[in-house]
Structure 1
Amino acid sequence: MKIAFAGKGGSGKTTLSALFTRFLADAGHTVAAIDADINQNLGQALGVPAERLAALPPLGGHLAEIKGLLRGANPRIDGIETMVKTTPPGRGSRLLDLSPDNPVHRRFGIRAAGAVLMATGPFTEEDLGVACYHSKVGAAELYLNHLVDGAGEYVVVDMTAGADSFASGLFTRFDVTFLVAEPTLRGVGVYRQYADYARDHGVRIMVIGNKVEDEADEAFLREHVGDALAACFGRSRFVRSMEKGAHPGLGELEPENLKTLAWMRDAVDAVPKDWAAFTRQGVEFHLRNAEAWAGAATGADLGAQVDPEFVMGPEALAASRALLGTPT
């Protein structure tokens, strides 16, 4: 399952992304975690030492390499120069799974709290004033577009704050979006914005109240987000220890907060996979981007990249493996 954590800056989405990643990995599940926030803090929240994080190759800094890998032998893509962040896979594309053979994980991932951690990367001096953060996140979007995840496998993505992911089709790439909201007007404001943008696109949003101290806080959230409120995470000494740089075992997490993580996992597991819808939405946003900017930027007919006979899923993954094998 592909899971996004979104919310306003300071809501606690990175902390909950890390806790959920740890919870899944501790239960023996296969987990990949992606730091797709402009403020790259997920690795630190997972307890990765600063020197290891500094050596982590950023996805956003190796976009051409990732495109070349995922393009595979797809005859509809003339070259990586015409491959954009929304380019959908087709027959001949290299599809990915969450096995140890995943070449993106091997090249760009490190082990963190039992999961594979990857990062889109921060702004560099060369980016300042000339690039937007979507150029970094585009690598994560391509990864998700080409990933076939199975039962008991999870990808957790810590999104950039606010509603910035709506600049492309990235927000449709997830089975569930957990919108982390504090019991404040600003906290629920991002939910309204997210819900308005996502309303017509089949995006499943579940609000997780965070820093909830009492019934009045929960009632406030319920008043403003209604049935979208799925669970609440209370104030936590455990989290405060994390924020100070400690990383105690999850067994020390408050029982009610541990129950919230378990409920979140169960809620995700209850969502049915719909590979046809996943494929259709990817194509839809690729064609939108092609018409709006990407066609002119590349000078290519990007609509021709769409393979009308292709549907993502386990069968497509098996065909990709049979054709391309595993890169060394």
Structure 2
Amino acid sequence: MWSAGAVTSFLEMKIAFTGKGGSGKSTLAALFVGYLRATGRRVLAVDADVNVHLAPLLGVVADSAAALSHPDNVTAVRRHLLGTNPLVGGVDRFVATTPAGPGSGLVTLESGDPVLARHAVALDERTHVMHVGTYEPEDIGAGCYHGHLSILENLLSHLRPADGDWVVCDMVAGTDAFANSLHAQFDAIVVVVEPTPESVTVACRYRELAAAAGVADLVTLVGNKVVDDVDVDYLRRELGAEPFAVLRAQAGLRRARQAGDCPRPADLDDPAPLRRIAERVRPMPAERRAAQLRALHLKVAEQERARSQLGPA
């Protein structure tokens, strides 16, 4: 029988799962949410992938009207985040990197939090699921998913979990997190790698960009869909490093998915990698995160200033 064990860290944690599309990152994120729930943690799961896989994997119907990026929801969330902060200048002055300030409305993981109550689905009183959304027909030819993610950046910047709380985010595939501030919003970034050249290439590129962005120490490489030791050797050789954890191909998990069931840690032959990932995460020092987000905000502000000086196209 599967046992959850214990998560050794008791500070609030924010962890992202990414990797090449099809690597199993969404499934691993869902399994990790299940592991945290079994340990009694309070969890906010955020589906930030344009393909919207995590929410259904947790049993949540991803209704477009409930998406964080729906214009009505963006306005409502930003109105709450604005609070009485005089430094922003109004809801319409929010940019992706707008930080919390004096009087800002903050978001917690408590079941009575107004943002969770309105924009999340409760799996139980300690577990909530949000989804950012995807392209809609009206976005064809004029939409950019990076714009959809700006409300997630706002939410994470104003999020104040309590000790022991976790935020688990299933990110867009590949390296898109570096197009915004999301790479600096988390305490850990799990890059899921399957033993194929394409998946390894994405992982190596992610690691390179993480180093350039000053967050290389946050990246954890996890091998997935591994069949045998040849696969492990391949990952070790091509990554130039030992994968932190390896999940073997799981017949039980595959059968559960074929039956349409949500993935559970109990479906794994060995759930120990989930515990190891949780134990690895350490909170980023507040001063470091503030410095990184401030630098990114100044960069965005300069870009906005340049665009305003150019005037309408």
State the number of aligned residues: 291
Map of 1:161-200 to 2, 5 A cutoff?
Answer: 161-200=173-212
Matches of 2:96 and 2:163, distance apart in 1? 26
Cα distance change, pair 251–64 in 1 and its aligned pair in 2 (3 A): same
Matches of 1:161 and 1:46, distance apart in 2? 19
Aligned residue number for residue 136 of structure 2? 124
Aligned residue number for residue 319 of structure 1? none
Q: Confirm or deny: 8 A CA contact 1:30 1:153 kept in the other structure.
A: yes
Q: Which amino acid aligns with 1:286?
A: H
Indicate the RMSD between aligned Cα atoms, in angstroms: 1.8
Q: Confirm or deny: 8 A CA contact 1:206 1:228 kept in the other structure.
A: no
Does the alignment pair 1:35 with 2:47?
Answer: yes
Q: Confirm or deny: 8 A CA contact 1:144 1:173 kept in the other structure.
A: yes
Aligned residue number for residue 113 of structure 2? 102
Q: TM-score, normalised by structure 1?
A: 0.84
Moved over 6 A (4+): none
Question: 1:221, CA displacement in angstroms?
Answer: 1.1
SS of the residue 1:134 aligns to: helix
Q: Which amino acid aligns with 1:103?
A: P
Map of 1:57-136 to 2, 5 A cutoff?
Answer: 57-61=66-70, 62-112=73-123, 115-136=127-148
- Which of 18, 21, 24 is the matching residue for 1:12? 24
Question: 1:34, CA displacement in angstroms?
Answer: 0.5
Does the alignment pair 1:295 with 2:308?
Answer: no
Map of 1:275-286 to 2, 5 A cutoff?
Answer: 275-286=286-297
SS of the residue 1:121 aligns to: coil
Q: Which amino acid aligns with 1:80?
A: V
Matches of 1:232 and 1:224, distance apart in 2? 15
Question: 1:262, CA displacement in angstroms?
Answer: 1.0
Does the alignment pair 1:250 with 2:265?
Answer: yes
Aligned residue number for residue 207 of structure 1? 221
Q: Which amino acid aligns with 2:226?
A: V
Q: Which amino acid aligns with 1:117?
A: V
Aligned residue number for residue 252 of structure 2? 238
Question: 1:101, CA displacement in angstroms?
Answer: 2.8
Q: Which amino acid aligns with 1:46?
A: L
Q: Which amino acid aligns with 1:295?
A: R
Matches of 2:65 and 2:262, distance apart in 1? 20
Aligned residue number for residue 36 of structure 2? 24
Matches of 2:210 and 2:285, distance apart in 1? 17
Identity %: 36
Structure 1: state its 5+ residue gaps.
300-328
SS of the residue 1:32 aligns to: strand
